[in-house]
Amino acid sequence: MTHIPAILLIVNPISGDIDKDILIQKVEKQVLNEGKNLLIYKTSGKHDIQEITSILKENSPQRVLVAGGDGTIKLCVEALQKFDIPLGIIPAGSANGLAVDLGIPTDLNNAIDLALNKNAKPMDILKINGETAIHISDIGINASLVKNYDKSNIRGKLGYALQSIPTLIDFKETFRFKIVANGTIKEGHAMMIAIANSQKYGNGAVINPKGKLDDGKFEVLIFKSLQMGKILQTIFNEIPFDEDFVEMIATDVVEITTKEAIPFQIDGEYIEKTKKIEAKIFSKQAQIIY
């Protein structure tokens, strides 16, 4: 009996606002045209990593396609850790931070075509306080903005813009930090410290122009300035990144401690206030198609 190669499509039914039935039909059509089998797994939000792992073991798909936002991509990256299978991304979340950063097409047909046909490239993955991180994490003013946005009902760019007002009320002063990286210690005051392997937030704002996804290093970006307006304009992608205004440390491991507990987010998801962050890079842990 000849073996028919399989493609596994992992769909988050609740992420973003794309119609997932149409998405599945489009993927199905292309996969069948290529003479392959399509397996579909819809996430439930519970035990997804275990479920995906057993499908991978049983079916050894040629590639995995994920339709969801950063949270869904992250769980696929975790499930794929022990397998050498490429992961293609079909942006179907609300913000799609990593997909924007990787330049994945927003057009559904083009994204599917790329995910099914292009070769994968290795990508470094971060562990931050024990959590897998695939995009940009930070403490300070942006994490505070993410927290306020999560609590509000207005989505999208306007939602973020509106939350800049309560964020500025909450977050008026710099915080004291200590960074240990590359065998050196740096201390000072900052409005925000980001940990980034890639370059851009989901709105396209470049905050880490030197970020490379496969160099075994990530960047710690210290936004020291008290010019709050300029920081927010950078985050909102209204002004270009100004190197003079941000200090950058390239490293493979970092410990950041702060005097007080500071708002903290990983990949657009608010975690909690924290006083200590430990981050480490794991070189070329994922095979991503982009």
Ligand X SMILES: Nc1ncnc2c1ncn2[C@@H]1O[C@H](COP(=O)(O)OP(=O)(O)OP(=O)(O)O)[C@@H](O)[C@H]1O
CA 46 – CA 143 distance, rounded (Å): 26
Name the minimum Å distance from CB 37 to ligand X: 23
Interface positions, 241-270, toward ligand X (CB under 6 A): 268
Q: Does 137 bind ligand X (CB under 6 A)?
A: no
Given a contact cutoff of 8 angstroms between Cβ atoms, the answer to whether 177 and 256 are in contact is yes
Binding segment (CB under 6 A) for ligand X, from list 6-14, 29-37, 109-117, 172-180: 6-14
Binding to ligand X by residue 15, rule CB under 6 A? yes
> Which H helix or E strand runs over 58?
helix 48-59
Of 52, 65, 72, 234, the residue at the interface with ligand X (CB under 6 A) is 72
Q: How far is the CB of 68 from ligand X (least distance, A)?
A: 4
Please identify, among the stretches 19-27, 38-46, 79-87, 225-233, the one whose residues bind ligand X according to the rule CB under 6 A.
38-46
Q: What is the C-alpha end-to-end distance of the chain, expressed in Å?
A: 34
Residue 93 lies near ligand X (rule: CB under 6 A): yes
CB of 15 to ligand X, least distance (A): 3
| 30, 70, 114, 218: residue in contact with ligand X (rule CB under 6 A) | 70
156-170 vs 141-151: helix crossing angle, rounded to 10: 120
CA 138 to chain centre: 12
Show the site string, 203-232: x = touches ligand X by CB under 6 A, - = not.
------------------------------
Sheet strands (E) in 150-191: 175-181, 184-190
Say how many residues make up the chain: 290
Instruction: Return the residue of 25, 44, 54, 60 that touches ligand X, per CB under 6 A.
Output: 44
What is the number of the residue whose Cβ is closest to ligand X?
69
What's the sign of the alpha-carbon dihedral 192, 132, 287, 5?
negative
Does 41 participate in binding ligand X (rule CB under 6 A)? no
Other beta carbons within 10 Å of 33: 9
Given the rule CB under 6 A, which of 1-9, 23-31, 94-102, 214-222 is the region that contacts ligand X? 94-102
Is residue 142 near ligand X by the rule CB under 6 A? no
Distances (CA, A) of 88 to 40, 71, 108, 175, 290: 14, 15, 13, 39, 7
Binding of residue 43 to ligand X (CB under 6 A): yes
Residue 69 binds to ligand X (criterion: CB under 6 A): yes
Are 62 and 36 in contact, with CB atoms under 8 Å apart? yes
CB 239 to ligand X: min, Å: 24
23 binds ligand X (CB under 6 A): no
Q: What residue type is assigned to position 252 of the chain?
A: D
DSSP codes, 257-289: EEEEEEEEEETTEEEEEEEEEEEEEEEEEEEEE
Q: How many residues bind ligand X (CB under 6 A)?
A: 18
Q: Which residues bind ligand X (CB under 6 A)?
A: 12-16, 43-45, 68-72, 93-96, 268
